[in-house]
Chains A and B, each alone.
Chain A
Amino acid sequence: MTALLVLMFLLVAGTGAGVVLAREPRRQALALAVNGVALALLFVVLRAPDVAYSEIAVGTALVPLMFLAVLVSLKTDRPQP
């Protein structure tokens, strides 16, 4: 296991912990995107560029975006005070 690989694993673990520790939903969606980038970097280091592509497109762009959209919708539906 090279130093680069160890670094990537730590990065994934760190950003993954960040997703859990971020308690505010909007921040959590963004933390999920950051975790997706870290995972994609790990996949590139492990020479799986196809999986990295999917991870970037789905894990970093689409899924957090849908979370954000749903969060906005929850805010919109709240009755006016």
Chain B
Amino acid sequence: MTRRTRLILAGICSVLIAPAVVVVILHIPAFGHHPLPYGDAINRGTVARRHVTNMVTAVNFDYRAFDTLGEELMLVAAVTGTLVLLRGRRGENVSDRPARAPDRPVCERSEAVTLACRIFLPLIVAFGIYVVLHAQLTPGGGFQGGAIIASGTLLLYLGESYRLWRRLVRSLLFDMLEAAGAIVLVLCGLGPMVRGHAFLENVLPLGQSGALLCGGLILVENAGVALAVTAGFILLLLEFLEETRAAREDEKS
């Protein structure tokens, strides 16, 4: 199909779809006027029932914690599958020597980049930890904070060196942390059953609303998710960037 035919086809389709789009946009309910009762019900009683002030966390880790458990196991399975595919024949052996692309010059890091990374790395990791710890109070949570921490570790690579990054961020440690996160979540489900409660029922003391320690089991589940997400993303980054190495004969030890 030539470019001209495609453009004509796209034009015809746009003209056909445009009226429907306009009709749909005109009938969108006004902001805040949603027709479903659940959001209002959650907003009304959650602070009294669960002592947390972030409703999203209450839904994620309490009312619909079962969904989060499924998502978490799915994430762990996806990360594991990706790691198996990317590691392939290489196995768990990693090298801390970076690859060289043949047609690209090697540039020295500027001191400004190193300085900026040294300033921002601790700030970003601290912010990630803050987001994880305040899941029950303010927006954010284990997933968001975990992703922030994981991407923050890349500043080691950017600002210092590939070698230092590979030495400090060990694959084995994060393999174990990821599994630990998933296990914490499963135990959160099974634990209450030992005492005769329902799966994932919030049986821990709820604490004082507004304090850092409130929400009972929500805190533990949030920590499990944070562990699994941090470790999972760090592993993905490690493996993806490992892939950028060309396996040269003289580099094999």
Interface of A (DSSP majority class): helix
Q: Is the CB of B102 within 8 A of A69?
A: no
Which residues of chain A come closer than 8 Å to B150, judged between CB atoms? 62
A61-81 contacts to B, CB under 8 A, are: 61-62, 65-66, 69-70, 72-73, 75-78, 80-81
Q: Assuming A53-B140, A70-B240, A76-B246, is B131 touching A65 (CB within 8 A)?
A: no
Q: Is the CB of B139 within 8 A of A66?
A: no
Which residues of chain A come closer than 8 Å to B131, judged between CB atoms? 53
Q: Is the CB of B246 within 8 A of A77?
A: yes
Q: Is the CB of A50 within 8 A of B101?
A: no
Q: Is the CB of A65 within 8 A of B144?
A: no
Q: Assuming A73-B243, A76-B99, is B236 touching A66 (CB within 8 A)?
A: yes
Which residues of chain A come closer than 8 Å to B144, judged between CB atoms? 50, 53-54, 57
> What separation, in Å, do the CA atoms of A64 and B172 have in the docked complex?
25
Which residues of chain B come closer than 8 Å to A57, judged between CB atoms? 144, 147-148, 151
> What separation, in Å, do the CA atoms of A78 and B150 have in the docked complex?
30
State which size class the interface on A falls in: 20 to 34
Is B154 on the interface with A (CB-CB < 8 A)? Answer: yes
Q: Is the CB of B241 within 8 A of A58?
A: no
Which residues of chain A come closer than 8 Å to B101, judged between CB atoms? 72, 75-76
B133-144 contact mask (Cβ, 8 Å, vs A): 1 or 0: 000000111011
Q: Is the CB of B243 within 8 A of A5?
A: no
Which residues of chain A come closer than 8 Å to B100, judged between CB atoms? 76
Q: Is the CB of A70 within 8 A of B31?
A: no
Q: Is the CB of A61 within 8 A of B240?
A: no
> What separation, in Å, do the CA atoms of A69 and B102 have in the docked complex?
16
Is B43 on the interface with A (CB-CB < 8 A)? Answer: no
Which residues of chain A come closer than 8 Å to B104, judged between CB atoms? 75
Q: Is the CB of B245 within 8 A of A61?
A: no
B66-82 contact mask (Cβ, 8 Å, vs A): 1 or 0: 00000000000000000
Q: Assuming A53-B139, A76-B99, is B151 touching A69 (CB within 8 A)?
A: no
What residues make up the interface of B, taking CB atoms closer than 8 Å to A?
30-31, 54, 56, 99-104, 131, 139-141, 143-144, 147-148, 150-151, 154, 233, 236-237, 240-241, 243-246
CB pairs A–B below 8 angstroms (6 shown): A1-B30, A50-B139, A57-B148, A62-B237, A73-B244, A75-B104
